[in-house]
């Protein structure tokens, strides 16, 4: 097994690049077969990945089942992360941060994963109807019971992190972060650094925009990007202008666009761990190849300039999904 550089996430030492498992079950068109998904998970472990990130929501629970079946026999080789609050109850997607719902969701996750303990368990979203102290309290009791090892927050603000951390130490905050998506820089990235909280960057290649994967808005059936404002017209054509310059910079550095994006993300701080997802073993190896890259400061600055100001048009999420997100907005950012 390969050994990658490691970083600290709460009590865990993890590979500097982890694996987001979501798209092995849904989100970006037809997922791979369970057999192919299982092979990719095992290949990730062989290549030195030691952080696997799933959630109750992904594939309606099927992603947790896949992880449990495919790599449960290698449980000692990775830190297992999953999430609650966003869940499927029957065929209905629900957001419920009440202690009772969290406790029930955790039990279902343990069963699907085939484990008695989940290393890192996140609140997937902030349920604004429930005080964050109550939601974190439910997970603190799960820590005491030995069912989870550490608590994380997903898509939450610095202010919410402060409140949560006062109830129980928070190990990680997970939020979208890439050269194109800079919202964490408003406050939560620095709050994590100050509090000793790990920052887990999901979609670090901007859902494929910074991986050479998107040329137009011709998405496969079931691809969630078809509903995301910055991935459809008229915003997409504008956003691809900056992407083209980014791709040229990657070529100049002898890197793929995905590697340049991941190297930039890693350069944002020693407490940052990106978790790119992929269904393609070749792309998996490409992503992991960025783990040891160190960008020159002038390259980092050139990337920052590419995505300043008016470079990116459109909100991250459609309105109904944005309403569930607690992450800070950038100065001047609108949701229209």
Catalytic (active-site) positions: 58
Q: Count Cα neighbours of 83 within 13 Å in the Cβ-side half-sphere.
A: 30
Residue whose tokens read 């500097």: 16
Q: Where are the alpha helices (DSSP H) in 74-167?
A: 99-113, 132-144, 158-167
The answer to whether 45 touches 91, Cβ cutoff 8 Å, is no
Q: How many CB atoms lie within 10 A of CB 332?
A: 7
Q: 3-state secondary structure string, 162-180? A: HHHHHHCCEEEEEEECECC
| DSSP tag of 26 | S
Q: Which two tokens stand for residue 74?
A: 């290698």
**β-strands 92-95, 86-89 pairing:** antiparallel
The residue among 120, 314, 296, 302 whose CA lies nearest residue 217 is 314
The answer to whether 123 touches 144, Cβ cutoff 8 Å, is no
The answer to whether 274 touches 307, Cβ cutoff 8 Å, is no
| DSSP tag of 128 | T
* 13 beta partners: 8
| DSSP tag of 220 | P
The answer to whether 81 touches 28, Cβ cutoff 8 Å, is no
């Amino acid at each position: 097994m390969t050994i990658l550089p490691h970083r600290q996430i709460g009590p865990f030492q993890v590979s500097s690049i982890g694996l987001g498992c979501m798209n092995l079950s849904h989100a970006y068109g037809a997922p791979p077969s369970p057999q192919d998904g299982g092979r990719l998970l095992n290949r990730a472990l062989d290549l030195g990945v030691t952080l696997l990130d799933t959630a109750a929501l992904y594939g309606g629970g099927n992603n947790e089942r896949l992880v449990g079946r495919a790599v449960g026999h290698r449980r000692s080789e990775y830190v297992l992360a999953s999430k609650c609050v966003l869940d499927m109850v029957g065929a209905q997607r629900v957001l419920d941060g009440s202690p009772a719902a969290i406790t029930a969701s955790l039990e279902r996750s343990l069963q699907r994963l085939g484990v008695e303990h989940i290393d890192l368990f996140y609140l997937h979203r902030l349920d604004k109807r429930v005080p964050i102290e109550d939601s974190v309290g439910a997970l603190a009791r799960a820590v005491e019971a030995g069912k989870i090892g550490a608590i994380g927050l997903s898509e939450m603000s610095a202010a919410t992190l402060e409140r949560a951390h006062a109830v129980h130490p928070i190990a990680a905050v997970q939020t979208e972060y890439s050269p194109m998506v800079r919202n964490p820089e408003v406050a939560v990235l620095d709050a994590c650094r100050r509090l000793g909280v790990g920052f887990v960057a999901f979609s670090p290649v901007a859902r494929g925009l910074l991986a050479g994967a998107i040329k137009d808005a011709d998405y496969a059936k079931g691809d969630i990007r078809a509903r995301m404002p910055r991935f459809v017209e008229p915003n997409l054509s504008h956003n691809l202008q900056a992407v083209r310059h980014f791709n040229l910079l990657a070529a100049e550095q002898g890197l793929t666009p995905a590697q340049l994006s991941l190297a930039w993300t890693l350069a944002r701080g020693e407490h940052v761990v990106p978790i790119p997802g992929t269904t393609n073993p070749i792309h998996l190896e490409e992503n992991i190849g960025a783990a040891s890259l160190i960008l020159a400061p002038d390259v980092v600055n050139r990337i920052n300039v590419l995505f300043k100001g008016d470079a990116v048009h459109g909100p991250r999420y459609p309105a109904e999904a944005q309403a569930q997100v607690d992450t800070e907005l950038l100065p001047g950012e609108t949701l229209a």
